[in-house]
A and B are shown apart, each in its own frame.
Chain A
Amino acid sequence: MNSFNRQGNSVGPWVDVEAGTASRAIFTDEEIWRVEQEKVFAKSWLFLAHETEIPEPGDHVTRQLGNDPVLVVRGEDGRIRAFHNSCVHRGVKLCRTDAGHSKNFTCPYHGWIYGLDGKLQATAYPPEVAEKIGESKSSLIEMAQVDSYAGLVFGTWDETAPALDDYLGDSRFYIDLFANRTQGGMEVLGPPQRWVFKANWKLGALNFAADGPHAASVHGPITYLTLQVPPELILQQLINSPAVVIGKGHNCIFLEYPDEAPDYAGFSPDLVPLYQQKLNAAQQRFLARGLTKVMTNFPNTSWVESSVTFDDKTPPIPFCNLRTWQPLSAQSTEVWNWLLVEKEAAEEFKQKSYEIGIRTFAAGGTFDQDDAEAWAAINLGCRGSIGSQYEVDFRATKHYRDQPIENFPGPGVAYPSTFSEMSEFALLAHWQKVMSGGES
């Protein structure tokens, strides 16, 4: 049994940083999930869309943040706004398509019409009635702040939240490695794939913060099948590659190429000069030596990039994956999964990167299929009235916490091994702080 007290308590503490443990209840308990909606999701910056999904005024996409429908629109003024996707009359879900283009939005129930700026334009009610409704003053519920970094559109419901740049902080150094590495930036290769697994959203977020050890045991065989890399070598690289606690709840790991591999081994030679133009020297080092990088931006936006081939005749091709973990309930999560590619890349390369992306990290991905299985099994192990009273173990952190890498060339505090579990556990520690109202 653990020392975490659940009696009438939903903010915790559920994480014991000193002991390197956390309560299993944080993955299963509906009351904790409910409080988390208020303390974490209503206050954080949440990823909404990539700018290239809505390039023209009037373009829009719909999203789900938890169980809330959200409409992301590019206005006539070119500005991107995000609204709660519900009519203010009776709460009907306003836009029911996944993506579209329009001059305004008409509610399917009584036909109230909203502009791209969210303002109620017309109700068809007689003028005296319209005045009582406040027709001229009404508008959709708008997200308090919407902003972009490197083409990535985020929104927050909290008007007091710090600016996006401040929120992302030093993680921008690493985001640049995924999505801000050429002058033109990235574009989406298509709309997001969506799928649901029966486990808590934090399991995905933590796994991408990231869990090094599972990559050997769970993905060792498929890594061997695709890249012909023997499991022992992957294991060694995982043990010897850094885990980075970036700060503000953002965390990542880098799986590095062995020293003998050339720089930018997995990348398209056409794009390398563009990286060298755009990135600073320290960032270039990371990109050139990184085989796989995996990161979670607090709370639920994750990244993975690697180079893989499914054909012994073609060299590995990189894919860049961006996803969110939407908390549908304590034990159910919907993944939203995008693939990005450099705008400047050749058409043939884009198609190849797309194919590799969907064969690895996507609903039909050979890597994802085993991850989700592990998380579903965690849910089964932890949801019972006995099981949920115990702990999950991050005691590996006790061995590493006093051994940060000195003079690490990137921001944050790095630890010498992905087996340290330091970056993964740091996400939970931050989550606890936010749950207790300490930080957002």
Chain B
Amino acid sequence: MKPTVTQLMPSGEPLSDADFRAVYDFLNLESDCLGLGEYETWYGLLTSQICYKVLAPAFLDATRPRRYGRENAYFDDDYASLGIRVKQLTTPGFTIAENPATISRHFVTNIRAAKNYDGIEVVSNVLVVRVRSTEPEPGVVSARRFDRLVETPEGLRIESRLAQLDQVSLQQLNLSFFI
């Protein structure tokens, strides 16, 4: 039998090589936009229906986990609110946290994708390395991402993203970037 990873695999039909290549290229383009601070271009890669969430993890008892309240989200954003964040980040002088800009790099790996009725489900891992003017030691943020991409006349676009961050206590003074 073929070994499978059942947990949180994208559901749907496998992609053709050409389709997978398109997804792969798209994620690389997107992560370069983020890493290079080209946020307006990045914003153009989202659909206006975008649901963008970044969640914090928790350490819970294996046999008896207890959660309370809502999910613990660092981001729970839509197209309008992401637009404001993008304006804040891209308008000169609008955020001291990004002036001078953080030097950062996004690495995307472990990509799996499948096609279904809603679009293309993609799971990936992402590692962000950040070097800031106020903190010479590089900071690291990693996450597992669940994306839904849709095909539009302009090419692939992101309709939803859920990123599950890996640090319970962020060793970062802020999250003035996207993941």
Q: Please list the residues of chain A having a beta carbon within 8 angstroms of any beta carbon in chain B.
A: 52-53, 55, 59, 96-102, 187-191, 193-198, 218, 221-222, 225-226, 310-313, 334, 351, 354-355, 358-359, 362-366, 368-370, 372-374, 376-377, 379-380
Contact with A along B40-67 (1 / 0, CB 8 A): 0000000000000010101111001111
C-beta contact mask, B64-108 vs A, less than 8 Å → 1, else 0? 111111111111111011001101100101111100000000000
Q: Does B5 contact A (CB under 8 A)?
A: no
Q: Knowing A97-B59, A310-B84 touch, does A198 contact B68 (C-beta < 8 A)? A: no
A97 near B61: Cβ-Cβ < 8 Å: yes
Inter-chain CA distance A45–B85, complex, in Å, is: 37
Complex CA distance for A376 and B174, rounded to whole angstroms: 11
| Cβ–Cβ < 8 Å partners of B76 in chain A | 354-355, 358-359
B18 sits at the interface (CB 8 A): no
Q: Is the CB of A59 within 8 A of B173?
A: no
In the complex, A101 Cα to B63 Cα: how many Å? Answer: 10
Chain B: which residue is nearest A314 at the CB level?
Answer: B80
Task: Select from chain A the residue with minimum beta-carbon distance to B171.
Answer: A196
Q: Which residues of B contact A96 (CB under 8 A)?
A: 59
Residues in A with CB closer than 8 Å to B11 are none
CB-CB under 8 A for A97 and B94, given A194-B169, A226-B84: no
A270 to B173, CA, bound (A): 36
With a cutoff of 8 Å between Cβ atoms, the chain B residues found around residue A364 in the complex are 54, 74-75, 174-175
Minimum CB distance partner of B71 in chain A = A190
Interchain nearest-CB distance for B124 vs A (Å): 20
Chain A residues with Cβ below 8 Å from B170 are 193-196, 363
- Cα distance A364–B173 when bound, in Å? 10
Given contacts A198-B135, A225-B84, A226-B84, A98 and B59 within 8 Å (CB-CB): yes
By a CB distance below 8 angstroms, the chain A residues around B60 are 97-100
Chain A interface secondary structure, helix, strand, loop or mixed? mixed
A358 to B60 Cα, complex, angstroms = 22
Contacting residue for B96 out of A101, A189, A226, A374, CB 8 A: A374
- Which single residue of chain A is at the shortest CB-CB distance from B136? A380
The size of the chain B interface, using a CB distance under 8 A, is 44
The answer to whether A310 touches B81, judged by C-beta atoms less than 8 angstroms apart, is yes
Selected from B95, B135, B169, the residue in CB contact (under 8 A) with A334 is B169
B176 interfacial contact with A, CB 8 Å: yes
B68–A311 CB distance below 8 A? no
A195 and B97 form a contact (CB under 8 A): no
Main secondary structure, interface of B, reads loop
**B16 interface contact, C-beta 8 A:** no
Most chain B C-beta atoms within 10 Å of own C-beta, residue among A354, A358, A373 = A373
Question: Which A-chain residue is minimally distant from B82 (CB atoms)?
Answer: A310
**Is A370 a contact of B97 with CB atoms below 8 Å?**
yes
Neighbouring A residues of B72 by C-beta, 8 Å:
190-191, 193
Q: B134 interface residue, CB < 8 Å from A?
A: yes
> Is A190 touching B69 in the complex (CB atoms < 8 A)?
yes
Residues of A within 8 A of B81 (CB): 310-311, 355, 359
List B contacts of A195 (CB < 8 A). 169-174
Q: Are A193's CB and B74's CB within 8 A? A: yes
**Cβ-neighbour of B134 out of A102, A191, A373 (below 8 A):** A373
* Residues in A neighbouring B88, C-beta threshold 8 A: 221-222, 225, 366
Count chain A CB atoms within 10 A of each CB in B68, B81, B88 and give the residue with the most.
B68
A359 to B65, CA, bound (A): 28
Residues of the A chain whose Cβ atoms lie less than 8 Å from the Cβ of B74: 193, 358, 362-364
Which parts of B153-179 form the interface with A (CB within 8 Å)?
A: 168-176
Say whether, besides A358-B75, A359-B77, A188 and B69 are in contact (CB < 8 Å): yes
Report the Cα distance A354→B77, complex, angstroms.
11
Besides A59-B66, A221-B94, A366-B84, 20 more A-B contacts (Cβ < 8 Å) are: A99-B60, A100-B65, A100-B66, A191-B56, A194-B169, A194-B170, A195-B170, A195-B173, A218-B96, A225-B94, A313-B80, A351-B70, A363-B74, A363-B172, A364-B74, A364-B174, A369-B95, A369-B173, A370-B95, A376-B134
